[in-house]
Chains A and B, each alone.
Chain A
């Protein structure tokens, strides 16, 4: 027993240094995730999120050992006593009408809002210095942030992380709409990632594909979060998010087949070894909509269902840490294919040629029931030559009305008629089968007001020019070329002589 005790003690001693290491999670952890959402308009949205959680109280201990959490940001938090930092760079605008609600939208340009700790004495000075440092880190002109574009919101922008008390005096918000986002902002953003575009989801971040998009938004969010369920201590969370929307026509060449290779010109080769979780989610909620079915290839291992942004959504989950999904010999190239039943429509379009032929657009459409279908066409007005204008150009120009030929289902089936025996109003259109009747409708003609040139302009110009020439040049010419000599006034014309005659008879002195 005595011998067993020291043995047990020794065994315990050997295990103890390793115990806490194996049983608890490491001090910082990385989770990465990519969400691919096919949008109603045929485009595809991809949202990357890289989240590093660091279980450390930066204010209490002097930290010198940084592992996954980037040192540049960690030093910022402790030097400027930040509570929260949110910085985003966006190019484009999220079109909610066509694309649905976004996960996280950001304004076009650069946006920076920061909550400082209550220990900061001069918030404005810290704010100015912080924006200068961030402009150096992210290669952006954030140094233009000063009192002219900074505000202190009083009601919104509450802290997104843990907060005891929200005195809005410690909040500052600024936005620079003119800021351009390009590769030089993406490069330092990528360098903050632990795996830094070498492994995991960040290999997909190639600038020449990410900027060829309708919407590009990259952001950095730092906030304190609960470390555990009891929420007695703080962990710092750094989230780096990047959202892009690939346009169906620019990137997809009009087809609605998407794959990781087509979007990013890369496939996923290996997971990030520093990540504790690395997943790809594909939104398969609109599994059958508009009679189109979405097929995802390779088939997912699991699905995830939840209420996101108010609606119930289903996601296909691909776990990159699962060796069955990805290993040294297999790349992961997700493919999304839309399978449509064959269309029974017809479109014929003949574009106009100036002064030769007009536009012709013919479409065969099947109208869905209980719905309103709107057909609109955009046209450009070309400039006319000045001889082609009518004498009354301010009246405008007419666009011919559109024609709608329709087969309308009859309420009551009609019998085929004998043309000679039935009345004339029934035999305008031939009827093949009685279940529907043919009708041809016309829309109103369109009167378009074109910009009218000022036809009196040449006349006015000629008058003015000639007047100026005559007055100025003519006067100078006369002054220079004519000589003036004094002339004796003439002694009188006939009228003067007659007048003098009458005056002499009156006895009045002559003129």
Chain B
């Protein structure tokens, strides 16, 4: 009896132990699932890539932007989710010895312009106003879709800016600037309007770290190519093209990104190590205090790549026969043919008609309020000075 009791106790203890272990396994599984749930909360990716410099000697800024564009496209973000702003045209510039190309490495190794580029804002359209309107979404209603940033609160946005900058400002096209305060306020507007989930801001200009000093909205991570008081330097000139091809920071970032593929698990800490002072001469900086996740948990592809939720199905779908559609409308046309009279082409230069046409009179509008008021004033003054008796000469 005691033995069975002991046995029962042992079995219950064993059962309890097993149950506990299963419970802990289940709990760890739930924990894993929960962690995955919180790992990356975004469902779509956007990129806004801006080059703010004009003129041929700023070729390297266009090459910088295009190399980030190339990496971002390669890792999966489609053109419809990229807003590319280039302030000047280098590829088809008359000074370019190889038209329709922009190179990033000397000896013309890598053409970052490619054959499939779509520039959304170009030349004079790259202004501070347009940039802020794109970010905040306050664009005129007739703007085409490719020029809009249609992000929502589950979007991860990559913003890359390059050009000439200073302590607290970035120069747009040699005629205006954007300050770090304006940029921070624009990001706050985006946060208030729930236009991003997480934002990665990369800037490659002189004194770039000053541009992210003033950010105060959550979920922003920022990288810059140089600290306040330092200049960002360019990498190497090409003797055939005659200008510097890339800036150092972006050159090493491009090299780093060339090794990333859509499935890689590299995280942000590796990106922070790109281009140390020995290679870059300036000290790249980063800011992660506003970001909620730990940078080592943030994948590079969270911002540079694109999330594609693909569901594969093995069902077959039958499409409607094409001939049926054609047939029904063909019958319609046959019915009307006999009724209409033949149409004809217009005469391209009908001289007689042109000579004898009367110029169209503009629609007559009654005089506006100001003219009426002026005449009323003049008439009143006249009659006041000379008396009402002059009226009898009129009537």
Q: Which residues on A are within 8 Å of B, measured CB to CB?
A: 17-18, 20-21, 24, 26-27, 55-56, 61, 65, 91, 128-129, 132-133, 135-137, 139-141, 143-144, 154-156, 158-164, 166, 169, 178, 180-184, 187-188, 206-208, 210-212, 226, 230-234
Q: What B residues does A210 contact at CB under 8 A?
A: 100
Nearest CB on B from A3, distance (A) = 30
Q: Which residues on B are within 8 Å of A, measured CB to CB?
A: 89, 91-92, 98-101, 111, 113-120, 122-125, 142-147, 323-327, 329-330, 333, 336-338, 340-350, 354, 357, 359-360
Q: A27-B326, A163-B345 are in contact. Are A208 and B98 (CB under 8 A)?
A: yes
Cα A192 to Cα B16 in complex, Å, equals 69
The interface residues of chain B, by DSSP majority, are classed as loop
Nearest CB on B from A164, distance (A) = 7
Report yes or no: A180 in contact with B123, Cβ–Cβ below 8 A: yes
Q: What B residues does A20 contact at CB under 8 A?
A: 326-327, 330
Q: What B residues does A207 contact at CB under 8 A?
A: 100, 115
Known: A136-B120, A183-B115; 13 extra A-B contacts, CB below 8 A, are: A21-B323, A133-B142, A143-B125, A143-B142, A159-B346, A164-B343, A169-B360, A180-B92, A183-B113, A207-B115, A208-B111, A211-B100, A232-B338
Q: A139-B120, A180-B89, A188-B118 are in contact. Are A208 and B101 (CB under 8 A)?
A: yes
Please give me the 7 A-B residue pairs with the lowest Cβ-Cβ distance, nearest first: A136-B144, A182-B92, A211-B100, A163-B346, A211-B99, A132-B142, A184-B119
Report yes or no: B91 in contact with A136, Cβ–Cβ below 8 A: no
From A158, A162, A164, residue with most partner B Cβ within 10 Å: A158
Give the contacting residue for B99; candidates A65, A143, A208; CB below 8 A.
A208
Cα A140 to Cα B125 in complex, Å, equals 10
Report yes or no: A187 in contact with B123, Cβ–Cβ below 8 A: no
Q: What B residues does A160 contact at CB under 8 A?
A: 345-346, 348
Report yes or no: A184 in contact with B118, Cβ–Cβ below 8 A: yes
Report yes or no: B146 in contact with A21, Cβ–Cβ below 8 A: no
Cα A234 to Cα B340 in complex, Å, equals 11
Q: What B residues does A21 contact at CB under 8 A?
A: 323, 326-327
Can you identify 15 A-B contacts, CB atoms within 8 angstroms?
A129-B142, A136-B147, A137-B144, A141-B122, A159-B345, A163-B346, A180-B92, A182-B89, A183-B92, A184-B119, A211-B91, A211-B92, A212-B99, A230-B342, A232-B341
Report yes or no: A182 in contact with B100, Cβ–Cβ below 8 A: yes
Nearest CB on A from B166, distance (A) = 28
Report yes or no: B340 in contact with A232, Cβ–Cβ below 8 A: yes
Q: A182-B91, A187-B115 are in contact. Are A17 and B122 (CB under 8 A)?
A: no
Q: A24-B330, A129-B142 are in contact. Are A187 and B118 (CB under 8 A)?
A: yes
Q: A61-B329, A133-B144, A158-B347 are in contact. Are A184 and B342 (CB under 8 A)?
A: no
Q: A135-B144, A136-B147, A232-B337 are in contact. Are A181 and B346 (CB under 8 A)?
A: no
Q: What B residues does A135 contact at CB under 8 A?
A: 144, 147
Q: A139-B119, A180-B123, A226-B343 are in contact. Are A65 and B330 (CB under 8 A)?
A: no
Cα A27 to Cα B326 in complex, Å, equals 7
Q: What B residues does A226 contact at CB under 8 A?
A: 343
Q: What A residues does B114 contact at CB under 8 A?
A: 183
